[in-house]
Amino acid sequence: MGTILRHAIRLPGLAGLAGLAALIGLAACGSGGEGRAEGGVRMQAAAGQPAGERTAVPDPEPSTRAVSVKNIGSDTLVNLALAWAEAYTAAHPQVRISVTGGGSGTGIAALINRTIPLANASRAMSGEEISSARAAGFEPLQHTVALDAIAVVVNPANPVDRLTIPQIADIYTGRIRRWSEVGGQDRPIVLLSRESNSGTYVYFIEQVIRLGRKDNKDLPSPETLLMPSSEGISAEVRQNPNAIGYDGLGYVTADQKVLAVAAGEGRPYVRPEAATVLDGSYPIARPLYMYTAGEPQGAIAGYLSWILGDGQALIQELGFVPLSPGGGGTR
């Protein structure tokens, strides 16, 4: 799903660059982010302006051309950030945004080391990270850009289709070892997790395995397989009927079975969907963040306000949840 979309978005991105001449007027508007401007860009992209036209027009503002923004971090956010970057650079060719994954910790570390101005994170910065940012001479600023549900997934052949959070916690700490104990077949349970540099990993431990309690020091069983990527998890879930895994909703493919989750015994079982995340009934959902070093300036301020405005429209296509219903949310 993600790949197809990425290709679909890349096309207008390239065409938009080629049709720079027609866009200069829009680019001059800067970060206004009006719905009309966005629509105009898409039309230009579809028309496919010839590349030769670019040279015919004088450069309007040489100093603001080719501002490049490096955006690194959460693997959960990477596809969404890529879609945003492509749509935004199509409308604002003077800004170049390069997006890389690597994990929330990677992005935050790069922000602290001042190698990038904008970090993606699927968890809030830790106290330790905030203090090392202060030691590096800036106050990190958190921007909530989208919402995400953590889906718990199993192999489609597994008859289990719902679990409570305490059951999931018992499964991941190794207190429940066979599927028969939660109403499934008599098979061993194989635990899959993201690597420890993933924000999803930390969130899952704090909110699910530790049931959201600060005094709870439970850890996932040492038997847990740590997969270096979302693809590693989906590959193993797809072919192993013993497996249970978790990942951001945007990364769940059709060949995995998504479980309905209840906050506890006697509470309703809810499947993760945009509506259930927004109304708060799905119990494992979280905000996704971008971090800047201090108050965002120039191109980055424009980009962020576009994300919180028109950019919200792209979120649902990628399997995430916009900050408000309808996707046109503002700050």
Partner 1 sequence: MKQGRGGARGAPAGRTRWSEFAIVALIRVLGFSTVGFVLLIFAFLLREGLPVFFELPASTLLGRLWYPTFGSFGALPLILGSLLVTLLAVLIALPLGVASAVFIREVAPRWAREVLKPLIEVLAGIPSVVLGFFGMSVVAPLVRQWLGAPTGLTAFTGALVLAYMSLPTIISVAEDALDAVPRGYRDAGLAMGATRWQTTWRVVVPAGRSGVIIAGMLGMGRAIGETMAVMMVTGNAARLPLDAAALFKPVRTMTATIAAEMGEVARGGVHYHALFGIGILLFVLTFLINLAAARTILRRRRKGGLR
Residues 40-69, one symbol each (x = binds partner 1 by CB under 8 A, - = not), give ------------------------------
Run of H or E including 111: helix 104-112
Size of the site for partner 1 (CB under 8 A): 35
Site residues (CB under 8 A) for partner 1, limited to 199-238: 201-202, 205, 219, 222-228, 232, 235-236
Nearer to partner 1, 170 or 310 (CB): 170
DSSP assigned state of 207: I
DSSP assigned state of 269: P
Of the residues 18, 37, 112, 293, which one makes contact with partner 1 according to CB under 8 A: 112
Q: How many CA atoms lie within 13 A of 269 on its CB side?
A: 12
To which residue do tokens 């993760």 refer?
272
Tokens encoding 228: 């270096």
Of the residues 127, 188, 266, 280, which one makes contact with partner 1 according to CB under 8 A: 188
What is the SS3 assignment for 49?
Answer: coil
Nearer to partner 1, 45 or 108 (CB): 108
Residue 16 pairs in a beta bridge with none
From the CB of 130, what's the least distance to partner 1, in Å?
A: 12
What angle do helix axes 2-18 and 75-91 make, rounded to 10 degrees? 20
From the CB of 108, what's the least distance to partner 1, in Å?
A: 8
Distance CA 315, CA 71 (A): 17
Site residues (CB under 8 A) for partner 1, limited to 129-158: 129, 132
Q: Are strands 162-164 and 260-262 parallel, antiparallel or unpaired?
A: parallel
Nearer to partner 1, 103 or 248 (CB): 103
Nearer to partner 1, 225 or 275 (CB): 225
From the CB of 113, what's the least distance to partner 1, in Å?
A: 7
From the CB of 128, what's the least distance to partner 1, in Å?
A: 7
Nearer to partner 1, 34 or 218 (CB): 218
Site residues (CB under 8 A) for partner 1, limited to 238-257: 239-240, 242-243
Nearer to partner 1, 28 or 225 (CB): 225
Q: Tell me if 251 sits within 8 A of 230, measured CB to CB.
A: yes
Q: How many CA atoms lie within 13 A of 181 on its CB side?
A: 12
Q: Tell me if 244 sits within 8 A of 171, measured CB to CB.
A: yes
Nearer to partner 1, 94 or 158 (CB): 158
Of the residues 130, 182, 190, 260, which one makes contact with partner 1 according to CB under 8 A: 190
Nearer to partner 1, 193 or 312 (CB): 193
138 to each of 67, 132, 167, 182, 301, how far by Cα in Å?
Answer: 22, 9, 42, 49, 17
Q: How many residues does the chain have?
A: 331
Q: Tell me if 200 sits within 8 A of 103, measured CB to CB.
A: no
Residues 70-109, one symbol each (x = binds partner 1 by CB under 8 A, - = not), give --------------------------------xx-xx--x
Nearer to partner 1, 58 or 222 (CB): 222
Q: Tell me if 160 sits within 8 A of 244, measured CB to CB.
A: no
Distance CA 201, CA 123 (A): 9
Interface residues with partner 1 (CB under 8 A)? 102-103, 105-106, 109, 112-113, 128-129, 132, 187-190, 195-197, 201-202, 205, 219, 222-228, 232, 235-236, 239-240, 242-243
